[in-house]
Each structure stands twice: as structure tokens, then as C-alpha cells.
A and B are shown apart, each in its own frame.
Chain A
Amino acid sequence: MTTTNYDPRILKAPHPVPGAPDNWKRFFSFNTDAKVIGIQYIATSLFFLLVGGLLAMIVRGELITPPADLVDPSVYNGLYTMHGTVMLFLFLFPILNGFNNLLIPTMIGAPDMAFPKLNAAAFWLVPLFAVVLMGSFFAPGGPASSGWWSYPPMSLQNPLNHFLNGQFLWILAVALSGISSIMGAVNFVTTIIRMRAPGMGFFKMPIFVWTAWAAQTIQLVGLPALTGGAVMLLFDLSFGTSFFRPEGGGDPVLFQHFFWFYSHPAVYVLVLPVFGIFSELFPVYARKPLFGYRFVAIASFGITFLSLIVWVHHMFYSGTPMWMRNLFMATTMLIAVPTGVKVFAWLGTLWKGNLRLSTPMLFCLGGLFNFIFAGITGVMLATVPIDVHVGNTYFVVAHFHYVIFNTIGFGVFAGIYHWFPKFTGRMYYEGLGKVHFALTFMGATLNWLPLHWAGLLGMPRRVASYDPEFAIWNVIASIGAFMLGVASIPFILNMVSSWARGPQAPPNPWRAIGLEWLLPSPPPAENFEDDIPTVISEPYGYGLGHPLVEDEAFYVRRSQEA
């Protein structure tokens, strides 16, 4: 087929490599290579980002005018429920597991995950529950429409009395997602603890690995509570039990405890790896060591610990006693401390740096800017008297989208651009990347900044129609949402065309420090194979002039020859 000389190892490489035989079919198989699985996760979740985004645009289309005139209110409720569910369970969790798969083994010098088959099984559960969830659009009576919280007794009202209803399929999908996430978490934690390169003590691990570890620990502790709650909800819905049915002596608020015990920390499962991405990228593009590496590393587990004891702040006005409200207000506000340590460390990293504003750096800076804002509204929401006013209003919607899209989403895009050359072997187009950033930043700001005011004025969340005094904020928000839809065009164009015909990527295009950058682009199947480097320095030694590993020149040379 071609006469290009390539390293025979490339035959084993899981990616299409210029000149090598086309091996795209691997991405559609039960492949146990973490790098294939990582790309499977990321491609699947980007597809569902489009699905969730489309649902969001219908929602924002409905909300551009005060009355419910685009879709029936029952349809609106199903659409926003599915928007949240798709974005969380089919976009954010899978895409971050994609990063875990690509980055954990390469960053710690492991050949693969500890349990490759479990890893592949965890991934293939994603398309499975995606089919269940998407199939629920065709269930009698439509999909689940009680919001992603699925609070009983609302979620237990099965209007058509079909056994196979949208809510049933929703719970099934969420439970499968939980199983997949637990399988992933076992794998990631084991890999991080057991399979680091020689010399890589915990305090020589890259921050992304620290944050992935901290995040996956939450999965292991919290997910069983949600899964237990979901099973009880399923039994109430389908088999006549009354764990949460008041008429049978059950307590609806009990479900809220089960739900938020996991679902609040879940935000930290998502945001911690993004803190990791920020901590990896700021040093590269500011050409400076990460400020206070050890503090940033330890702060990750500070966040993990605190995240597990804040869940009642979602129930400040559910009839929770005062001592409990005061306690959980204090714990919630305490999270600002370890988070602040990270934010100040990033600012310290930027200070006196030599900044290169490429696309990943722009997304990181934009994400940090938005995150500082989201952190401040977060402390406001933790304040009981303020939460009693703005809880369950658009202030909350605006706050959590500032976290979940304007911070986590931005970090995810930054990570995709930054590691794209490493794992595809191709460079992306910088110009298209910058257009993507500009549209995303403007769209996201227009979409969510104004909604804070709608919430302060008293617009409840989850409404299909609203009083005319809220119209102005909603019109601006809808324009922002459509702009975000447009922003996906340069992104898709960039990803597809650069992967197909972008310039070939060198092993280390960003002059970054890290084990993954000592590998060829894309890395061979088993990464370092038999020559695993011995780590001798802390990561992020920019400008310090000491090598990261023993005999670094050998690895650099080998990565360039591959």
C-alpha cells in the first residue's frame, strides 16, 4: 500500500498512523488497549454532547418567549430532564473517563490499565445504557420527565400505568451508568496505586493523576448510595414498595439524602480532573513550574473529603432542622479553602510567566475566569438565608452551568486540544481552535451570566413558561445558547479534518514536561514497553533545567525515531 518506513511497533498502535495500514475498525471492537478505549469514550461522549446540546437548544427555544408555545409543557419537561441526564451521564462522566484512559497509563509510565478487560467492559456499558436512555424517547408516555433528580413522589407518578415507562428506563440507565463508573473507578485507582514508573513516588505524580485519583475515590464511596437509592426508587415505581411513598409510610425526603450524598460529590468527580487539566496546562503555556505543587496535590484530597459531607445544602428548605442547616452551611463554605489554594496556585503559576495564548491555554484561562465567578456564587448559595431565596431558581441554574460548562466544559476542550497531537499523531488547526474558543466564551457568558439576575428576581427553575418581567434575561440567554450551538461547527471541522489530514505531530509539540511527552505521537500499544523510565524529579520543572527521568536524552531520541 505504501513505501513509507515505519516502526513495526506502529502496527500494534491503536490509531490510524500515516503510512501504516488503516486500523479504524479497532475503535468499534471490544479492544482492551486503554488508548483505544480512551478515544472510544471521548468520541462517544462528544456525539452525546451534540445530542444534549440539541435538547438544550429546544429548551432555550421554548424559553425565548414567556408563554409555553414551542412544545407542550409535558414535552418540555421530558426534554430538559433528558438534557441534564445526557450531559452528565453520556457526556461529562464518559469524556473524563476517556481522559483517564489516555492519560493515567501514559503519565505514570504504565503499559495499560490494571484490568484491561474490565476497562473495556466499563466502556461498552456506555453505548448499552445510551441505547436504553435514547430508547426511552419511544417508551409509552415519553421519556422520564421529573428532572435529573427524579424526586419521588413526582417520579413515581406513572400516568399510563405501563410497566415499561420512561422513568423505569431512566433508572435502569442511571444504574448501568453507575456500574460502569464503579468498574472504571476500581481500575483507575488500582492502576494509580500499583503501576507507577520506578521512582515515581506519590509526590512525583502529575497533578492530573492526583485529581483523577481523588475523583475516583468519590465514585467508590458515593456511587453505592445513589445506586441503592435508585434501586429503591425502581422498586417503588414498579414493584409496589413504599420506601419513598408517603401514603405507605415512606419518606420522600429520604430519597433526597440518597440522591445528594452521591450527586453533590459527583460535581467534584467532574471538576477535580479539570483542576488536573488546568494544573497540567498552565505550567506548559506559562513556561513555569506549577506554583506549590505539593499543596495543589494535597488540596485535591481535601476537596474529596469535604465533598462527602456537604450534601444537605441541597435541602435547606425541605424542612431540615436548623442545626443541620448550620452544620452543612459551614462544611460547604469550607470547600472554598482547598479550592482557593488551587486557584491561587494557578494565578501564582501565571505570574511572571511567559504566556503563549494557544487554544488550550485560552480555554484554560477562560475556564479559570468562569470558575472564580462560579466559586463566589457557590458560597452565596451555601449561605442558608440566601439559598432560601435563590434556591431552585435560575440563580442555581446559572451557577451550576458556570461550573459544569463554563469551567468543566472549558477544561475538557482545553484537554482535547492539548493532547490531540499526542494521541492522534496529528496537529489541530490553531485558527479554527481560536474561533471555537471565541464563540464558546461569548456564547457561554451570554447564556448564563444574565440568568443570575432572573433567579435573584425570583424565576423558578424547570419552568416551561414564565412571567413577562423575566423575558429580557431569557432572550439574551437563548441567543447565547444558539451561539454555543454554532461554536460546535469550527470544533467538529477542526477535529475531523485535522485527524484526517492535519500535519503530522512531533512527539512533544508544546515542549511539555511529562512522561507522556517522552512517547512517540501516537504512543505505541504498550507505551514504554520494556524500557520504562525512572523518574527522578517532581513534574513541571520548567526553567529549572533538571531532567524528569534518568537518561532523558535516550527517551527523547527514541520518541523521535518512532
Chain B
Amino acid sequence: MTSTAPKNGPNIGSIVVISIAIAINLAIAKLMATWSYSWFPPQASSAAAYVDDLFALETGIGSFIFFGCTGVMGWVLLFNRAGKYDESDGAPIEGNTILEIIWTVIPLLLVFAIAFTSMKVNDTLNALGPKQKYAIGADTSALLSADPLAQVGPIQVIARQWSWEFRYPDGVRSSELHLPIDQRVNLQLQSEDVIHSFYVPAFRLKQDIVPGSLISYSLTPTREGRFRLRDAMFSGAYMSVNQSNVIVESEQAYSDWLKRSAKQALQPGLDPGRVLYDRRIARGDKGWATVPPAPAPMVNDPGDPSIPHDA
């Protein structure tokens, strides 16, 4: 095996160049990692900061690798291009076993370090908000005691084609999810038709809702505001509009809202797919086949989708 280093020992000049390049690359990686925090919606749950930190770490490592590798490509493009009539060969280097070992072992250690860090974050997140899937018909007492630490709930989350319904322990039903800030809430997710996914970007949380299963899912909102809840699993024709809002408010505002809603009569809730489906029928049912939307959920508070959301 031939070596890339000249025979007469290391070249001071190239060591200086490589050191400067690595220093610049480290600085860029640090900048990218810092910048990456601005790519997310605001952090509105206790899980969010952990996710963003992990992402920043990977952005930093990833940027170092990306700019390191593409830096080499840029270098050879600048300095190792053949002239127009130059048909000569490059340096006949066939390989270097030491380098091969280095660039196998370092990435191996690196991915183990990343995997290990992520597993620890997994444990943290699982302690903050455990989730458990139960087959419907299984022992329901297990489900009821799924999260003994929860301060609010269980709130039933029912997903349909294409609407969301929330049922609170005292019987109130709503189309938007109201949660008190800084309290651990237990949700029990279920779907009546196909797979949906409960996704609140500001919470950095997503959970598929598989029909035939009940999923116990806990989280703690940490920021007041109105955050978008999106159906993140493709669930048919009007999946794109199957969205609602999560309203995180003070404990006082939350209990006031519960009391106010309990007095309201049941009425049809948010049913965003219905509007589009009715328009389609009015236009002569053109387009490709779809199942009709499920009937709108009957709720105490249908919410107001026209209020702008924070994230």
C-alpha cells in the first residue's frame, strides 16, 4: 500500500492548512447547530427542548461531516482539474489500510455515541410522557391505570375520517383540545375507521392511532397558545384538512372553559372534510372515488377555526 504522505515526513504547510480547515469547519458546525433551533415551531411541551437539543447536536456533527467531505470535493475541483489536452493519470494511490480503519472505527464510535445519547433521550421522554398500546377488548383496568402520574385526564381522543373529537373526564366534548399549562395530561387515542396520526408540531409529538387499538399517551404542555393539531397519517381524500387546534391555557381558564362548555347543548362540531365533500357533490360528484365523511361529532364546544394559530 502506498501512502499519501510524502516520504520525508509530515509537511508543515499541509498540517497548518488542514488545521485551519478543521477550525473553520468546527466554527461552521457550531453556527449551524445554533441556527438549527430556529427551524422549529416554538417549544410548547416538556419534550420539545430535548428533541431540539438532539437535533442541534446532530446538525452540528452532520454539518462538520458535510462541509468536511464537500470541502475535499471543492478542493479537488479547484486544484486537481485536468487541462484541456492533459491526458495523464493522477497519483496511482490504491488505498491505505490505516485510513480505512480510521474511517470505519470513528464513524462506528460516532453512531454508537449518537444512538446511546438518543436512547437516553428516549428514556427521558418516556418518563415525561409514556405511551402504551392496548388491543381493544384487552384488560381495561391496565389502560385506566396506564399513567398514574397524570394530573389531567384521561381525555378520550377520537379520530375519524375526517374530524377530531375530544371527551373530557366530566363528560364535556369538544372539537378543539383544551389543556391546562404545565400539567401532565393522559390522552386515550382511538380511531373509528382508518389509521390517523395525532401530531402537534409545537409539542414535537406524534402518535399513530391504529384502529382496533387504544393508545394511552401522556404529555405536558409548557407554553400557552393555540397550536395546530394535524393528522400526519394519510387517511383518505380529505386528510389534508383533518386538522384542529390544541389550546393551552392557564389552569383557571381551563376550568372556566370546562364549566362554560358543560352548560352548552351538544351541537355538530368541526367537520372540515364535509365542506369540501358537499362542494364536490354540488359540482356533480366529479373526481375519483372516496368514502363520504363520517357524521360530524356532537360536541359542547365546536371551537372557532378562524382564530389564527400560533404554530
Contact = CB atoms under 8 A, between A and B. Distances in A.
B125 interface: yes
Contacts of B80: 286, 350-355
B26 interface: no
Interface in B35-55: 39-41, 47, 50-51, 54-55
Interface string A344-372: 11011011111111000000010011001
A78 to B, nearest CB: 5
A343 B69 contact: yes
Nearest to A288: B90
Contacts of A72: 280, 286-288
Nearest to B86: A354
Contacts of B7: none
A496 interface: no
A351 B90 CA distance: 9
A141 B62 CA distance: 46
A333 B111 contact: yes
Interface in B98-113: 99-100, 103-104, 107-108, 111-112
A385 B51 contact: yes
Contacts of B201: 389, 457-458
B237 A73 contact: yes
Contacts of B206: 317, 388-389, 391-392
B303 interface: no
Contacts of A286: 76, 80, 90
A27 interface: no
Nearest to A351: B76
Contacts of A333: 111, 114-115
Contacts of A457: 39-41, 201
B146 to A, nearest CB: 13
A72 B51 CA distance: 36
A252 B90 contact: no
B70 A386 contact: no
Nearest to A330: B115
B115 A354 contact: no
Contacts of A467: 228, 243, 309
B234 A74 contact: no
Interface stretch (A97-105, A150-158, A211-219, A413-421): A150-158
A379 B62 contact: yes
A384 to B, nearest CB: 5
Contacts of B311: 458
Contacts of B205: 388-389
B247 to A, nearest CB: 17
B120 to A, nearest CB: 10
Contacts of A317: 197, 206-208
A333 B118 CA distance: 11
A503 interface: no
Contact of B238 (A73, A140, A376): A73
Contact of B236 (A157, A293, A322, A341): A157
A460 B230 contact: yes
B82 A356 contact: yes
Contact of B76 (A145, A159, A350): A350
Nearest to A334: B111
- Cβ-closest 5 pairs across A and B: A458-B201, A246-B212, A142-B288, A141-B289, A543-B89
Interface of B: 4, 39-41, 47, 50-51, 54-55, 58-59, 62, 65-66, 69-70, 72-73, 76-77, 80-82, 86-96, 99-100, 103-104, 107-108, 111-112, 114-115, 118-119, 121-122, 125-126, 131, 133, 136, 193-195, 197, 199, 201-202, 204-208, 210-213, 215, 228, 230-241, 243, 276, 280, 286-291, 309, 311
27 contacts: A75-B287, A75-B288, A142-B289, A246-B210, A246-B212, A287-B82, A287-B88, A293-B95, A326-B119, A329-B115, A330-B112, A336-B111, A347-B73, A350-B72, A350-B80, A352-B90, A353-B80, A354-B81, A355-B80, A379-B62, A379-B114, A386-B58, A392-B199, A453-B39, A458-B201, A543-B91, A544-B92
Interface of A: 68, 71-75, 77-78, 140-143, 145-147, 149, 151, 153-154, 157, 159-160, 165-166, 246-247, 250-253, 286-289, 291-295, 317-319, 322, 325-326, 329-330, 333-334, 336-337, 340-341, 343-345, 347-348, 350-357, 365, 368-369, 372-373, 376-377, 379-380, 383-386, 388-389, 391-393, 453, 456-458, 460-467, 511, 542-544
